[in-house]
């Protein structure tokens, strides 16, 4: 049911974009984020509406390159939420790999898909110097 919704909406999106580049909603996301191994990263994208249109978000999905991220139900690995209007975020807990995520939203005024956001896990060196730093404080 859900996947049909997304497939149909994606088709609609492609159709809409091949016809016109006149986009009402845009996701503004960081290009890349750095996080220390084992820590939490928050990917927070802002939502902008062309001409301050008063639109409401309907659905969103966060994805890895191949998979949707199951973050809407309480999970020990992910949390995601939005206000349907100005932002959509994803928390990844205990980050242990370099990865990329992307978010897609559907609103009553149109759709957008963000570029991939790189999550860059810094090595043990940074982790070590960081704990040294906090010891000194
Ligand atoms: C995401 O950003 C919005 C606006 O910039 C802010 O209101 C919201 O609290 C942020 N959410 C998180 C989880 O950082
Ligand atoms: C936007 O629309 C919502 C309901 O659709 C309404 O409650 C709100 O007052 C509107 N805001 C503006 C600034 O028009
Ligand atoms: C959340 O969990 C409930 C019950 O386990 C399930 O019915 C529902 O589809 C889940 N929602 C999402 C968004 O995964
Ligand atoms: C992530 O990539 C960086 C280089 O871009 C590398 O130094 C680091 O060790 C990688 N981290 C993991 C957990 O693979
Ligand atoms: C990173 O780890 C997550 C969760 O363990 C996994 O779903 C994802 O596919 C991994 N990404 C890469 C690029 O290995
Ligand atoms: C990850 O961070 C390192 C150190 O800041 C940087 O050299 C590298 O280019 C980054 N890799 C990615 C994929 O952003």
Where residue 56 sits, what CATH number does that domain have?
2.60.40.10
Q: What contacts 127, CB < 8 A, 6 or more positions away?
A: 36, 37, 38
The reply to whether 116 falls in a domain is yes
35 pLDDT above the threshold of 50? yes
Domain limits at 77?
Answer: 23-136
- The predicted-structure confidence for 86-127, as pLDDT tens digits, reads as follows 999 999 999 999 999 999 999 999 999 999 999 999 876 545
- What is the mean pLDDT of the segment spanning 4-26? 61
Q: How many CB atoms lie within 10 A of CB 39?
A: 15
CA of 34 to the centre of ligand 6 (A): 8
The reply to whether 14 falls in a domain is no
The reply to whether 16 falls in a domain is no
Give the number of whichever ligand sits closest to the CA of residue 119: 6
The reply to whether 112 falls in a domain is yes
- What is the mean pLDDT of the segment spanning 50-66? 92
Coil, strand, or helix at residue 12? helix
- What is the mean pLDDT of the segment spanning 68-73? 93
- What is the mean pLDDT of the segment spanning 39-56? 93
CA of 70 to the centre of ligand 2 (A): 30
| Backbone phi, psi, residue 101, to 5° | -130, 160
The reply to whether 2 falls in a domain is no
The reply to whether 15 falls in a domain is no
Pocket of ligand 1 from Cβ distances under 6 Å:
42, 44, 46, 87, 89
Q: What is the 3-state secondary structure (H, E, C) of 60-110?
A: EEEECCCCECCCCCCCCCEEEEECCCCEEEEEECCCCCCEEEEEEEEECCE
The reply to whether 1 falls in a domain is no
Total-model pTM: 0.77
Alpha-carbon distances of 64 from 35, 87, 98, 108, rounded to whole Å: 17, 19, 11, 25
Number of folded domains in the chain? 1
| Backbone phi, psi, residue 102, to 5° | -145, 155
The reply to whether 57 falls in a domain is yes
């Amino acid at each position: 049911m859900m996947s049909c919704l997304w497939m149909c909406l994606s088709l609609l999106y492609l159709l809409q974009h091949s016809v016109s580049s006149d986009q009402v909603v845009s996701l503004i996301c960081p290009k890349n984020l750095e996080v220390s191994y084992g820590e939490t990263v928050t990917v927070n994208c802002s939502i902008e509406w062309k001409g301050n249109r008063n639109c409401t978000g309907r659905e969103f999905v966060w994805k890895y390159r191949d998979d949707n991220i199951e973050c809407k139900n309480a999970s020990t690995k992910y949390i995601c939420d939005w206000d349907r209007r100005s932002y959509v975020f994803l928390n990844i807990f205990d980050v242990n790999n370099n990865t990329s995520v992307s978010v897609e939203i559907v609103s009553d005024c149109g759709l957008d898909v963000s570029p991939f956001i790189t999550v860059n896990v810094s090595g043990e060196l940074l982790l070590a110097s960081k704990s040294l730093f906090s010891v000194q404080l």
